[in-house]
Amino acid sequence: MKSIFIFVFVLLTTCSYAQTDKIKRIDSLLQAANQRGIFNGNALVAQKGKIIYLSSFGYADATKSKMLTPTMRFDIGSISKEFNGVSIMILKERGKLTLEDKVSKYVTFLPSWADKIQIKHLIQYTSGLPASNASSEEEVRTFLTQLPKLEFEPGTAFIYSYLNVYLQRWIIEKISRLNYTEFVKKYIFKPCKMSQTVIDAYTIDVTTARPFDNNFVEPANFTQSLTGWLRLPIEDLYRWTTCLHSYQLISETSFKELAESFGDNETSLGSTEFENQQLTWHQHHGSNFNYEALMSCNVKEDITIILMTNNQNFKVYPLKDAIHAILHDKPYSLPKKSVYLDLREKVLKDFEQGLAFYRHIRETQQDIYDFSFEIGDLISTGKYLMRRQKFDEAIRIFQLSLLLNGKSEDTSYNYELTGECYMRKGLPQMAILFYTKAAETNPQNKNAQGMRDKLLSQL
Protein backbone atom coordinates (compact mmCIF):
# COMPACT_ATOMS: atom_id res chain seq x y z
CA MET A 1 0.00 0.00 0.00
CA LYS A 2 2.81 2.41 0.89
CA SER A 3 4.55 1.77 -2.44
CA ILE A 4 1.31 2.46 -4.31
CA PHE A 5 0.89 5.74 -2.43
CA ILE A 6 4.45 6.78 -3.27
CA PHE A 7 3.90 5.92 -6.96
CA VAL A 8 0.70 8.00 -7.14
CA PHE A 9 2.36 10.90 -5.30
CA VAL A 10 5.33 10.89 -7.68
CA LEU A 11 3.01 10.66 -10.70
CA LEU A 12 0.91 13.60 -9.54
CA THR A 13 4.00 15.63 -8.70
CA THR A 14 5.50 14.92 -12.13
CA CYS A 15 2.27 15.92 -13.92
CA SER A 16 2.01 19.09 -11.84
CA TYR A 17 5.60 20.03 -12.65
CA ALA A 18 5.04 19.41 -16.38
CA GLN A 19 1.94 21.64 -16.39
CA THR A 20 3.76 24.40 -14.49
CA ASP A 21 6.64 24.21 -16.94
CA LYS A 22 4.26 24.62 -19.89
CA ILE A 23 2.63 27.65 -18.28
CA LYS A 24 6.06 29.22 -17.76
CA ARG A 25 6.96 28.57 -21.40
CA ILE A 26 3.70 30.15 -22.59
CA ASP A 27 4.43 33.18 -20.45
CA SER A 28 7.99 33.41 -21.78
CA LEU A 29 6.69 33.20 -25.35
CA LEU A 30 4.23 36.05 -24.86
CA GLN A 31 6.74 38.16 -22.94
CA ALA A 32 9.18 37.79 -25.85
CA ALA A 33 6.41 38.59 -28.34
CA ASN A 34 5.63 41.77 -26.43
CA GLN A 35 9.29 42.76 -26.36
CA ARG A 36 9.57 42.16 -30.12
CA GLY A 37 6.57 44.45 -30.62
CA ILE A 38 4.18 41.88 -32.09
CA PHE A 39 1.78 41.37 -29.17
CA ASN A 40 0.24 43.99 -26.90
CA GLY A 41 -2.84 42.47 -25.33
CA ASN A 42 -4.49 39.83 -23.17
CA ALA A 43 -4.13 36.05 -23.41
CA LEU A 44 -6.15 33.15 -22.02
CA VAL A 45 -5.49 29.43 -22.25
CA ALA A 46 -7.96 26.85 -20.93
CA GLN A 47 -7.59 23.10 -20.80
CA LYS A 48 -10.06 20.46 -19.65
CA GLY A 49 -12.59 23.12 -18.68
CA LYS A 50 -10.21 25.17 -16.52
CA ILE A 51 -8.30 28.37 -17.19
CA ILE A 52 -4.63 27.48 -16.81
CA TYR A 53 -3.19 30.79 -18.03
CA LEU A 54 -4.45 34.37 -18.00
CA SER A 55 -2.24 37.41 -18.39
CA SER A 56 -1.84 40.92 -19.86
CA PHE A 57 1.03 42.44 -21.81
CA GLY A 58 1.60 46.07 -22.68
CA TYR A 59 -0.33 49.29 -22.73
CA ALA A 60 -4.02 50.15 -22.53
CA ASP A 61 -3.68 53.13 -24.87
CA ALA A 62 -1.29 55.12 -27.00
CA THR A 63 -0.16 57.37 -24.13
CA LYS A 64 1.71 54.46 -22.47
CA SER A 65 0.47 55.79 -19.14
CA LYS A 66 -1.85 52.90 -18.36
CA MET A 67 -1.12 49.18 -18.44
CA LEU A 68 -3.54 46.52 -19.62
CA THR A 69 -5.34 44.33 -17.07
CA PRO A 70 -7.21 41.03 -17.64
CA THR A 71 -10.57 42.69 -16.95
CA MET A 72 -10.32 45.30 -19.71
CA ARG A 73 -12.70 45.11 -22.62
CA PHE A 74 -11.61 44.71 -26.25
CA ASP A 75 -13.41 45.05 -29.55
CA ILE A 76 -13.60 41.59 -31.19
CA GLY A 77 -14.57 42.63 -34.72
CA SER A 78 -16.25 39.91 -36.78
CA ILE A 79 -16.51 37.50 -33.84
CA SER A 80 -19.51 39.66 -32.85
CA LYS A 81 -21.34 38.13 -35.83
CA GLU A 82 -21.60 34.82 -33.98
CA PHE A 83 -24.14 36.42 -31.67
CA ASN A 84 -26.60 37.45 -34.38
CA GLY A 85 -26.24 34.01 -36.00
CA VAL A 86 -27.01 32.23 -32.73
CA SER A 87 -29.90 34.65 -32.11
CA ILE A 88 -31.42 33.63 -35.44
CA MET A 89 -31.16 29.96 -34.42
CA ILE A 90 -32.74 30.68 -31.02
CA LEU A 91 -35.77 32.12 -32.83
CA LYS A 92 -35.80 29.16 -35.23
CA GLU A 93 -35.88 26.67 -32.36
CA ARG A 94 -38.80 28.58 -30.84
CA GLY A 95 -40.74 28.26 -34.09
CA LYS A 96 -40.62 31.98 -34.86
CA LEU A 97 -38.90 31.59 -38.25
CA THR A 98 -37.42 29.08 -40.68
CA LEU A 99 -34.12 29.41 -42.48
CA GLU A 100 -36.02 29.22 -45.78
CA ASP A 101 -38.13 32.30 -44.95
CA LYS A 102 -37.63 35.18 -47.35
CA VAL A 103 -36.11 38.39 -46.00
CA SER A 104 -39.06 40.35 -47.41
CA LYS A 105 -41.37 38.60 -44.93
CA TYR A 106 -39.78 40.54 -42.07
CA VAL A 107 -38.02 43.56 -43.62
CA THR A 108 -40.74 45.13 -45.71
CA PHE A 109 -39.10 48.33 -46.95
CA LEU A 110 -36.59 46.66 -49.29
CA PRO A 111 -36.80 46.44 -53.10
CA SER A 112 -38.16 43.33 -54.83
CA TRP A 113 -34.79 41.51 -54.69
CA ALA A 114 -35.55 40.78 -51.01
CA ASP A 115 -38.11 38.21 -52.23
CA LYS A 116 -35.20 36.06 -53.47
CA ILE A 117 -33.06 36.05 -50.33
CA GLN A 118 -33.63 33.40 -47.67
CA ILE A 119 -32.43 33.79 -44.09
CA LYS A 120 -29.94 30.94 -44.61
CA HIS A 121 -28.32 33.04 -47.37
CA LEU A 122 -27.68 35.80 -44.84
CA ILE A 123 -25.88 33.53 -42.35
CA GLN A 124 -23.79 31.99 -45.15
CA TYR A 125 -23.05 35.34 -46.89
CA THR A 126 -24.50 34.02 -50.15
CA SER A 127 -27.34 36.56 -50.44
CA GLY A 128 -25.84 38.45 -53.37
CA LEU A 129 -25.64 41.66 -51.33
CA PRO A 130 -22.53 43.65 -52.28
CA ALA A 131 -19.86 45.15 -50.08
CA SER A 132 -20.72 48.62 -48.84
CA ASN A 133 -18.93 51.65 -47.42
CA ALA A 134 -21.93 52.65 -45.30
CA SER A 135 -20.67 53.83 -41.93
CA SER A 136 -23.89 54.02 -39.88
CA GLU A 137 -27.15 52.10 -39.58
CA GLU A 138 -28.96 54.94 -41.32
CA GLU A 139 -26.52 54.77 -44.24
CA VAL A 140 -26.95 50.97 -44.38
CA ARG A 141 -30.73 51.42 -44.61
CA THR A 142 -30.39 54.04 -47.36
CA PHE A 143 -27.92 51.90 -49.30
CA LEU A 144 -30.21 48.87 -49.21
CA THR A 145 -33.38 50.76 -50.19
CA GLN A 146 -31.56 52.27 -53.18
CA LEU A 147 -29.83 49.05 -54.27
CA PRO A 148 -31.26 48.20 -57.71
CA LYS A 149 -30.18 44.56 -57.90
CA LEU A 150 -28.10 41.84 -56.27
CA GLU A 151 -24.57 40.93 -57.32
CA PHE A 152 -25.67 37.37 -58.11
CA GLU A 153 -28.53 34.94 -57.65
CA PRO A 154 -28.76 34.08 -53.92
CA GLY A 155 -27.07 30.80 -53.01
CA THR A 156 -24.72 30.74 -56.01
CA ALA A 157 -21.70 32.70 -54.74
CA PHE A 158 -20.19 34.31 -51.64
CA ILE A 159 -19.50 37.91 -50.61
CA TYR A 160 -18.44 38.67 -47.04
CA SER A 161 -20.62 41.75 -46.60
CA TYR A 162 -21.84 43.06 -43.24
CA LEU A 163 -25.12 44.03 -44.92
CA ASN A 164 -26.10 40.41 -44.24
CA VAL A 165 -25.51 41.02 -40.55
CA TYR A 166 -27.76 44.07 -40.41
CA LEU A 167 -30.60 42.23 -42.09
CA GLN A 168 -30.26 39.42 -39.54
CA ARG A 169 -30.45 41.92 -36.70
CA TRP A 170 -33.50 43.66 -38.15
CA ILE A 171 -35.24 40.29 -38.50
CA ILE A 172 -34.41 39.49 -34.86
CA GLU A 173 -35.86 42.82 -33.75
CA LYS A 174 -39.00 42.46 -35.89
CA ILE A 175 -39.83 38.99 -34.55
CA SER A 176 -38.83 39.46 -30.89
CA ARG A 177 -40.12 43.03 -30.54
CA LEU A 178 -36.89 43.80 -28.70
CA ASN A 179 -33.98 45.84 -29.95
CA TYR A 180 -30.96 43.72 -30.80
CA THR A 181 -29.03 44.68 -27.66
CA GLU A 182 -31.95 43.78 -25.38
CA PHE A 183 -32.43 40.43 -27.12
CA VAL A 184 -28.78 39.40 -26.82
CA LYS A 185 -28.62 40.49 -23.18
CA LYS A 186 -31.69 38.45 -22.29
CA TYR A 187 -31.09 35.29 -24.31
CA ILE A 188 -27.29 35.10 -24.47
CA PHE A 189 -25.39 37.27 -21.99
CA LYS A 190 -27.54 36.35 -19.00
CA PRO A 191 -27.55 32.53 -19.43
CA CYS A 192 -23.83 32.55 -20.30
CA LYS A 193 -23.02 34.81 -17.30
CA MET A 194 -21.28 37.36 -19.57
CA SER A 195 -21.87 40.13 -17.08
CA GLN A 196 -19.12 42.46 -18.29
CA THR A 197 -19.94 42.37 -22.01
CA VAL A 198 -21.40 45.51 -23.60
CA ILE A 199 -22.71 46.40 -27.03
CA ASP A 200 -21.89 49.72 -28.71
CA ALA A 201 -19.79 50.96 -25.79
CA TYR A 202 -18.52 54.52 -25.78
CA THR A 203 -15.02 54.73 -27.20
CA ILE A 204 -13.93 56.77 -24.19
CA ASP A 205 -14.98 54.07 -21.73
CA VAL A 206 -12.12 53.76 -19.21
CA THR A 207 -12.69 50.01 -18.86
CA THR A 208 -11.95 49.47 -22.56
CA ALA A 209 -8.47 49.22 -24.06
CA ARG A 210 -7.98 51.80 -26.82
CA PRO A 211 -6.37 50.88 -30.14
CA PHE A 212 -3.10 52.23 -31.52
CA ASP A 213 -0.59 51.40 -34.25
CA ASN A 214 3.11 50.60 -33.97
CA ASN A 215 3.92 54.31 -33.86
CA PHE A 216 1.60 54.67 -30.84
CA VAL A 217 -0.96 56.66 -32.81
CA GLU A 218 -4.69 56.08 -32.41
CA PRO A 219 -6.76 55.53 -35.58
CA ALA A 220 -8.14 58.70 -37.13
CA ASN A 221 -11.86 59.26 -36.49
CA PHE A 222 -12.01 56.50 -33.91
CA THR A 223 -15.77 56.28 -33.42
CA GLN A 224 -18.27 53.43 -33.51
CA SER A 225 -21.08 54.66 -35.76
CA LEU A 226 -22.11 51.16 -36.87
CA THR A 227 -24.20 49.43 -34.23
CA GLY A 228 -24.42 45.93 -32.76
CA TRP A 229 -20.72 45.33 -32.03
CA LEU A 230 -19.44 43.79 -28.82
CA ARG A 231 -16.70 44.85 -26.44
CA LEU A 232 -15.87 42.40 -23.69
CA PRO A 233 -13.12 41.11 -21.39
CA ILE A 234 -11.31 37.94 -22.36
CA GLU A 235 -12.95 35.76 -19.70
CA ASP A 236 -16.40 36.64 -21.02
CA LEU A 237 -15.38 35.46 -24.48
CA TYR A 238 -14.25 32.20 -22.91
CA ARG A 239 -17.64 31.91 -21.18
CA TRP A 240 -19.23 32.33 -24.61
CA THR A 241 -17.25 29.43 -26.07
CA THR A 242 -18.11 27.08 -23.19
CA CYS A 243 -21.78 28.04 -23.35
CA LEU A 244 -21.92 27.60 -27.11
CA HIS A 245 -20.03 24.29 -27.30
CA SER A 246 -22.06 22.73 -24.49
CA TYR A 247 -25.24 23.55 -26.48
CA GLN A 248 -26.80 25.54 -23.67
CA LEU A 249 -28.13 28.19 -26.08
CA ILE A 250 -28.97 26.22 -29.20
CA SER A 251 -29.08 22.51 -29.92
CA GLU A 252 -26.29 20.56 -31.56
CA THR A 253 -28.47 20.30 -34.68
CA SER A 254 -28.91 24.07 -34.87
CA PHE A 255 -25.19 24.59 -34.31
CA LYS A 256 -24.42 22.33 -37.26
CA GLU A 257 -26.92 24.21 -39.44
CA LEU A 258 -25.29 27.50 -38.48
CA ALA A 259 -21.87 26.04 -39.29
CA GLU A 260 -22.84 24.97 -42.84
CA SER A 261 -20.68 26.94 -45.26
CA PHE A 262 -20.67 27.75 -48.94
CA GLY A 263 -17.57 25.94 -50.13
CA ASP A 264 -14.66 26.68 -47.83
CA ASN A 265 -15.90 30.16 -46.94
CA GLU A 266 -16.74 31.44 -43.47
CA THR A 267 -20.15 31.43 -41.83
CA SER A 268 -21.49 33.39 -38.87
CA LEU A 269 -19.41 31.02 -36.69
CA GLY A 270 -16.17 31.64 -38.55
CA SER A 271 -14.63 28.22 -39.32
CA THR A 272 -15.59 24.82 -37.92
CA GLU A 273 -14.62 21.18 -38.40
CA PHE A 274 -16.52 17.98 -37.61
CA GLU A 275 -15.52 14.33 -37.34
CA ASN A 276 -18.24 11.66 -37.30
CA GLN A 277 -20.83 14.42 -36.90
CA GLN A 278 -19.06 15.71 -33.76
CA LEU A 279 -17.60 19.21 -33.48
CA THR A 280 -13.82 18.98 -33.18
CA TRP A 281 -12.64 22.51 -33.92
CA HIS A 282 -14.03 26.06 -33.92
CA GLN A 283 -12.02 29.14 -34.74
CA HIS A 284 -12.94 32.76 -35.42
CA HIS A 285 -10.82 35.83 -36.06
CA GLY A 286 -11.97 39.43 -35.88
CA SER A 287 -10.47 42.88 -36.28
CA ASN A 288 -11.65 46.49 -36.17
CA PHE A 289 -9.52 49.64 -36.24
CA ASN A 290 -6.33 48.31 -34.57
CA TYR A 291 -8.16 45.75 -32.43
CA GLU A 292 -7.66 42.09 -33.25
CA ALA A 293 -8.99 38.96 -31.58
CA LEU A 294 -8.61 35.24 -32.15
CA MET A 295 -10.77 32.58 -30.54
CA SER A 296 -9.40 29.09 -31.22
CA CYS A 297 -11.11 26.05 -29.71
CA ASN A 298 -9.72 22.56 -30.13
CA VAL A 299 -12.94 20.96 -28.95
CA LYS A 300 -11.67 17.41 -29.41
CA GLU A 301 -8.82 17.97 -26.91
CA ASP A 302 -10.73 20.57 -24.85
CA ILE A 303 -8.14 23.30 -25.40
CA THR A 304 -9.18 26.92 -25.84
CA ILE A 305 -6.77 29.73 -26.72
CA ILE A 306 -7.99 33.34 -26.85
CA LEU A 307 -5.81 36.29 -27.79
CA MET A 308 -6.97 39.92 -27.81
CA THR A 309 -4.91 42.93 -28.79
CA ASN A 310 -5.43 46.67 -29.17
CA ASN A 311 -2.28 46.90 -31.34
CA GLN A 312 -2.92 44.73 -34.39
CA ASN A 313 0.19 43.03 -35.73
CA PHE A 314 -1.37 39.99 -37.46
CA LYS A 315 0.53 37.58 -35.24
CA VAL A 316 -2.30 36.06 -33.23
CA TYR A 317 -2.38 32.98 -35.47
CA PRO A 318 1.32 32.07 -35.17
CA LEU A 319 1.21 32.83 -31.44
CA LYS A 320 -1.77 30.50 -31.11
CA ASP A 321 0.15 27.82 -33.00
CA ALA A 322 3.16 28.28 -30.71
CA ILE A 323 0.98 27.92 -27.61
CA HIS A 324 -0.53 24.72 -29.04
CA ALA A 325 2.99 23.43 -29.67
CA ILE A 326 3.98 24.14 -26.06
CA LEU A 327 0.93 22.30 -24.73
CA HIS A 328 1.90 19.27 -26.84
CA ASP A 329 5.64 19.41 -26.02
CA LYS A 330 6.49 20.22 -29.62
CA PRO A 331 9.08 22.71 -30.93
CA TYR A 332 7.99 26.26 -31.72
CA SER A 333 9.53 29.58 -32.67
CA LEU A 334 8.86 33.21 -31.82
CA PRO A 335 6.95 34.84 -34.70
CA LYS A 336 8.64 37.49 -36.82
CA LYS A 337 7.20 40.82 -37.97
CA SER A 338 4.37 40.94 -40.49
CA VAL A 339 5.26 41.74 -44.11
CA TYR A 340 1.67 42.73 -44.81
CA LEU A 341 1.38 45.13 -41.89
CA ASP A 342 4.42 47.18 -42.92
CA LEU A 343 3.82 46.88 -46.67
CA ARG A 344 0.18 47.89 -46.93
CA GLU A 345 0.51 51.52 -45.83
CA LYS A 346 3.62 52.03 -47.94
CA VAL A 347 2.05 50.86 -51.19
CA LEU A 348 -1.05 52.92 -50.42
CA LYS A 349 0.97 56.09 -49.88
CA ASP A 350 3.44 55.59 -52.77
CA PHE A 351 3.03 52.37 -54.73
CA GLU A 352 6.48 52.29 -56.35
CA GLN A 353 8.26 53.10 -53.08
CA GLY A 354 6.18 50.41 -51.40
CA LEU A 355 7.32 47.83 -53.95
CA ALA A 356 10.93 48.94 -53.42
CA PHE A 357 10.49 48.40 -49.66
CA TYR A 358 9.08 44.92 -50.29
CA ARG A 359 12.03 43.95 -52.50
CA HIS A 360 14.50 45.37 -49.97
CA ILE A 361 13.21 43.43 -46.95
CA ARG A 362 12.85 40.30 -49.09
CA GLU A 363 16.54 40.48 -49.99
CA THR A 364 18.03 41.70 -46.71
CA GLN A 365 15.66 41.27 -43.74
CA GLN A 366 14.22 37.77 -43.79
CA ASP A 367 15.60 37.31 -40.28
CA ILE A 368 13.26 40.08 -39.09
CA TYR A 369 10.21 39.70 -41.34
CA ASP A 370 8.10 36.57 -41.73
CA PHE A 371 8.10 35.34 -45.34
CA SER A 372 6.71 31.90 -44.51
CA PHE A 373 3.40 32.75 -46.23
CA GLU A 374 4.54 35.43 -48.62
CA ILE A 375 1.70 34.78 -51.05
CA GLY A 376 -0.82 35.34 -48.27
CA ASP A 377 0.80 38.64 -47.30
CA LEU A 378 0.70 39.86 -50.91
CA ILE A 379 -2.91 38.76 -51.38
CA SER A 380 -3.87 40.55 -48.14
CA THR A 381 -2.08 43.67 -49.39
CA GLY A 382 -4.01 43.50 -52.65
CA LYS A 383 -7.29 43.18 -50.77
CA TYR A 384 -6.31 46.16 -48.62
CA LEU A 385 -5.86 48.21 -51.79
CA MET A 386 -9.15 46.93 -53.20
CA ARG A 387 -11.02 48.14 -50.11
CA ARG A 388 -9.65 51.60 -50.92
CA GLN A 389 -10.66 51.44 -54.58
CA LYS A 390 -7.05 51.06 -55.77
CA PHE A 391 -7.85 48.34 -58.28
CA ASP A 392 -4.96 48.84 -60.71
CA GLU A 393 -2.43 48.70 -57.87
CA ALA A 394 -4.17 45.64 -56.41
CA ILE A 395 -3.93 43.83 -59.75
CA ARG A 396 -0.19 44.50 -59.87
CA ILE A 397 0.21 43.05 -56.37
CA PHE A 398 -1.76 39.95 -57.39
CA GLN A 399 0.45 39.57 -60.48
CA LEU A 400 3.51 39.77 -58.25
CA SER A 401 2.20 37.04 -55.94
CA LEU A 402 1.57 34.72 -58.91
CA LEU A 403 5.33 34.63 -59.51
CA LEU A 404 5.73 32.74 -56.20
CA ASN A 405 4.12 29.54 -57.53
CA GLY A 406 1.83 28.87 -54.59
CA LYS A 407 -0.73 26.15 -53.94
CA SER A 408 -3.62 25.79 -56.37
CA GLU A 409 -6.04 27.18 -53.77
CA ASP A 410 -3.95 30.34 -53.33
CA THR A 411 -3.50 30.78 -57.07
CA SER A 412 -7.23 30.31 -57.65
CA TYR A 413 -8.07 32.90 -54.99
CA ASN A 414 -5.55 35.25 -56.57
CA TYR A 415 -7.26 34.92 -59.97
CA GLU A 416 -10.67 35.36 -58.32
CA LEU A 417 -9.64 38.63 -56.68
CA THR A 418 -8.13 39.86 -59.94
CA GLY A 419 -11.45 39.08 -61.61
CA GLU A 420 -13.26 41.07 -58.93
CA CYS A 421 -10.96 44.04 -59.57
CA TYR A 422 -11.76 44.01 -63.27
CA MET A 423 -15.47 43.61 -62.57
CA ARG A 424 -15.43 46.63 -60.27
CA LYS A 425 -13.48 48.56 -62.91
CA GLY A 426 -16.33 47.90 -65.34
CA LEU A 427 -14.41 45.41 -67.52
CA PRO A 428 -16.59 42.28 -67.55
CA GLN A 429 -14.68 40.42 -70.29
CA MET A 430 -11.43 40.60 -68.30
CA ALA A 431 -13.32 39.65 -65.14
CA ILE A 432 -14.75 36.56 -66.87
CA LEU A 433 -11.25 35.59 -68.04
CA PHE A 434 -9.84 35.61 -64.51
CA TYR A 435 -12.90 34.04 -62.87
CA THR A 436 -12.56 31.24 -65.42
CA LYS A 437 -8.87 30.84 -64.56
CA ALA A 438 -9.80 30.68 -60.88
CA ALA A 439 -12.40 27.97 -61.47
CA GLU A 440 -10.07 25.94 -63.68
CA THR A 441 -7.19 26.17 -61.19
CA ASN A 442 -9.39 25.03 -58.31
CA PRO A 443 -12.68 23.34 -59.30
CA GLN A 444 -13.82 23.69 -55.67
CA ASN A 445 -13.89 27.49 -55.99
CA LYS A 446 -17.67 27.83 -56.20
CA ASN A 447 -17.55 31.58 -55.75
CA ALA A 448 -15.46 32.11 -58.89
CA GLN A 449 -17.78 29.80 -60.82
CA GLY A 450 -20.84 31.68 -59.62
CA MET A 451 -19.42 35.10 -60.48
CA ARG A 452 -18.29 33.91 -63.93
CA ASP A 453 -21.73 32.47 -64.72
CA LYS A 454 -23.41 35.64 -63.53
CA LEU A 455 -21.29 37.85 -65.79
CA LEU A 456 -21.74 35.51 -68.77
CA SER A 457 -25.52 35.68 -68.34
CA GLN A 458 -25.36 39.48 -68.57
CA LEU A 459 -23.47 39.63 -71.88
CATH number, position 403: 1.25.40.10
Q: Tell me which of 327, 347, 365 is where a domain ends.
A: 327
Give the pLDDT of residue 212: 95
**CA pair distance 416, 410, nearest whole angstrom:** 10
**Same-domain pairing of 127 and 231:** yes
**Same-domain pairing of 372 and 239:** no
Instruction: Express each pLDDT in 174-189 by its tens digit.
Output: 999 999 999 999 999 9
Instruction: Express each pLDDT in 215-266 by its tens digit.
Output: 899 987 666 667 888 999 999 999 999 999 999 999 999 999 999 999 888 8
Give the pLDDT of residue 12: 42
Residue 27 located in a structural domain: no
Taking residues 4-16, report their average pLDDT: 47
Percentage above 70 pLDDT, the chain = 95
Considering its fold, how many domains does the chain have in total?
2
Give the pLDDT of residue 200: 86
**Same-domain pairing of 265 and 376:** no
Give the pLDDT of residue 284: 98
**Cα distances (Å, whole numbers) of residue 377 to 147, 228, 342, 445:** 33, 30, 10, 20
Whether 380 contacts 397, CB under 8 Å: no
Give the pLDDT of residue 10: 43
Does residue 202 carry a pLDDT above 80? no
Identify the DSSP state of 293. E
Amino acid symbol at 203: T
Please state the φ and ψ torsions of residue 273, each to the nearest 5 degrees.
Answer: -135, 145
**Same-domain pairing of 233 and 124:** yes
Does residue 428 carry a pLDDT above 50? yes
Residue 99 located in a structural domain: yes
Whether 309 contacts 39, CB under 8 Å: yes
**Same-domain pairing of 244 and 149:** yes
Residue 36 parent element (H or E):
helix 2-36
Whether 401 contacts 385, CB under 8 Å: no
User: How many other CB atoms are found less than 10 A from the CB of residue 285?
Assistant: 21
**Same-domain pairing of 229 and 153:** yes
CA-nearest of 402, 403, 422, 405 to 414 is 402
**Same-domain pairing of 292 and 384:** no
Instruction: Express each pLDDT in 302-319 by its tens digit.
Output: 999 999 999 999 999 999
Q: Tell me which of 283, 305, 327 is where a domain ends.
A: 327
Cα angle at 374 between 372 and 378, to 5 degrees? Answer: 155
Whether 42 contacts 58, CB under 8 Å: no
Task: Please report how the helices 391-402 and 374-386 are oriented relative to each other, as an axis angle in degrees rounded to 10.
Answer: 170
**CA pair distance 274, 276, nearest whole angstrom:** 7
Instruction: Express each pLDDT in 69-122 by its tens digit.
Output: 999 999 999 999 999 999 999 999 999 999 999 999 999 999 999 999 999 999
Please state the φ and ψ torsions of residue 45, each to the nearest 5 degrees.
Answer: -130, 130
Does residue 62 carry a pLDDT above 70? yes
CA-nearest of 213, 241, 210 to 45 is 241
Q: Tell me which of 327, 356, 380 is where a domain ends.
A: 327
**Same-domain pairing of 234 and 368:** no
Residue 100: give the domain boundaries.
77-327
pLDDT band at 459 (very low <50, low <70, confident <90, very high): confident
Task: Please report how the helices 428-441 and 446-458 are oriented relative to each other, as an axis angle in degrees rounded to 10.
Answer: 150
**Same-domain pairing of 350 and 285:** no
Give the pLDDT of residue 225: 67
Region at 157 (left for phi over 0; alpha for psi -120 to 50; beta for the rest): beta
**Cα distances (Å, whole numbers) of residue 283 to 61, 66, 162:** 27, 31, 19
**CA pair distance 304, 245, nearest whole angstrom:** 11
Give the pLDDT of residue 224: 63
Beta-carbon contacts of 31 under 8 Å, excluding residues fewer than 6 positions away, are: 57
**CA pair distance 270, 79, nearest whole angstrom:** 8
Chain-centroid distance of CA 412 in Å reads: 21
**Same-domain pairing of 322 and 179:** yes
Residue 187 located in a structural domain: yes
Residue 36 located in a structural domain: no
Residue 70 located in a structural domain: no
Residue 183 located in a structural domain: yes
Instruction: Express each pLDDT in 253-280 by its tens digit.
Output: 999 999 999 988 889 999 999 999 999 9
pLDDT band at 8 (very low <50, low <70, confident <90, very high): very low
Whether 314 contacts 292, CB under 8 Å: yes
CA-nearest of 293, 273, 292 to 282 is 273
**Same-domain pairing of 122 and 173:** yes
Instruction: Express each pLDDT in 109-128 by its tens digit.
Output: 999 999 999 999 999 999 99
- Output 398 or 4, whichever has higher pLDDT: 398
Does residue 6 carry a pLDDT above 70? no
**Mean pLDDT of the residues in the chain:** 93
Residue 66 located in a structural domain: no
**Same-domain pairing of 297 and 422:** no
Residue 444 in 3-state DSSP?
coil
Whether 449 contacts 414, CB under 8 Å: no
Give the pLDDT of residue 2: 47
Instruction: Determine if the pTM surpasses 0.85.
Output: no
Residue 52 located in a structural domain: no
